[in-house]
Copies of this chain bind each other. A is one copy, B any other.
Amino acid sequence: MITVIKPGATEPQIQNLITWFEARGLKTNISEGEEQTIIGLIGDVTKVDIDLVEGLEIVDSVKRISDPYKRANRKFHPNDTVVDIGGHKIGGGEFQIIAGPCSVESSEQILSVAESVQKSGAALLRGGAFKPRTSPYDFQGMKADGIELLLEAKAKTGMPIVTEIMNGLHLPMFEHVDVIQVGARNMQNFELLKELGKVRGKAILLKRGLANTLQELLMSAEYIMSEGNENVILCERGIRTFETATRNTLDLSAVSVLKELSHLPVVVDPSHATGKRNLVEPMAMAAAACGADGLMIEVHNNPAEALCDGAQSLTPEQFDRLTKKVAKIRKAII
């Protein structure tokens, strides 16, 4: 950590600050420039509150040099984490596709989608039971009943299931859920993250927030991991920018950056990122090409009732085509 001192600071003030740093077990290195004095801090600076130091009268700015996360950090854990979900592995070269409808709507719907995506090669089944919606007047999901229907589909197909949680109080309903998803809007719901950190034997799929940096995503993973649950899967799902041609801007560089900074697996959700059906296939292929460990794709199986088809859901036929193309890309990059 580097502390830049303001031009007018007096010697006793600087000495006072150095003493304070040293009392916290840090070694200091002073560099006196013509315009500015800089104090370098050596030792464990993760516990120094950067805002607090920056607020001091004599301090111009503070720059952290090392990363504020430890458990999610590849520096301290060089090998890829491989998350095993009912025998399906994600990470460390293992690639999986998670597919299913945005919302669970009925027993027929979820089972029909499950069977068709499984046939096309999806390993995990996703489906929303609790739905975060911007408007209180929009459909909020089937809730407990939705989870029951997912478990039914799991029983019939053997596919592990992935579904979103919005409230720690609902955890008992997630007993037989394999992967608990944290949605983008809850990425910094730290109370929820801490509760999920106490869960054992389940993976957490943590989606990047709409306006969160990759470092913040890793800090949120750290919240879960610091409570003991290290089975975290990161998910890039688009960020909010000025561009309106797509719902969000899919940030594929995030895949490479996250895999460099962290050992955790990274999956990509091109459906929510783009919000447009015809962009899902090309973005899925791009994600596979740049090294993502998996994909999360919205599929809806309803040829008869065309009106229940979300803007970004693929039909089973479109999904089948996507899986074949992604498989070719996977083969090309190995």
Contact = CB atoms under 8 A, between A and B. Distances in A.
Contacts of A186: 189
Interface in A194-247: 194, 209-211, 213-216, 219, 222-223, 226, 239-246
B188 A167 contact: no
A243 B239 contact: yes
Contacts of A307: 20, 52, 56
Q: Tell me the interface secondary structure of chain A in the complex.
A: mixed
24 contacts: A29-B31, A36-B66, A46-B137, A49-B139, A52-B308, A52-B309, A55-B311, A132-B190, A133-B190, A136-B219, A166-B191, A167-B168, A185-B189, A214-B245, A215-B245, A239-B241, A250-B253, A252-B283, A256-B279, A256-B282, A285-B289, A286-B289, A329-B332, A332-B332
Interface in A1-53: 2, 4, 20, 29, 31-36, 38, 40, 42-43, 46-47, 49, 51-52
A175 interface: no
By Cβ-Cβ distance, the 3 closest A-B pairs, closest first, are A211-B211, A289-B289, A55-B311
Contact of A134 (B35, B188, B226): B188
A277 interface: yes
Nearest to A2: B2
A82 interface: no
Contacts of A166: 189-191
Given A214-B245, A286-B287, 5 more contacts: A2-B63, A49-B138, A61-B65, A137-B226, A282-B290
Which of A66, A135, A188 is the most central at the interface, judged by chain B CB atoms within 10 Å of its CB? Answer: A135
Interface residues of A, number: 106
A313 interface: yes
A249 interface: yes
Given A20-B307, A136-B226, A245-B213, A274 B260 contact: no
Interface of A: 2, 4, 20, 29, 31-36, 38, 40, 42-43, 46-47, 49, 51-52, 54-57, 61, 63, 65-66, 68-69, 75, 132-139, 166-169, 185-186, 188-191, 194, 209-211, 213-216, 219, 222-223, 226, 239-246, 249-257, 260, 273-274, 277-279, 282-283, 285-291, 306-313, 325, 328-329, 331-333
A173 to B, nearest CB: 13
A254 B310 CA distance: 22
Given A40-B38, A286-B287, A134 B219 contact: yes
B311 A222 contact: no
A328 B331 CA distance: 9
B278 A256 contact: yes
A254 B61 CA distance: 19
A56 B137 contact: no
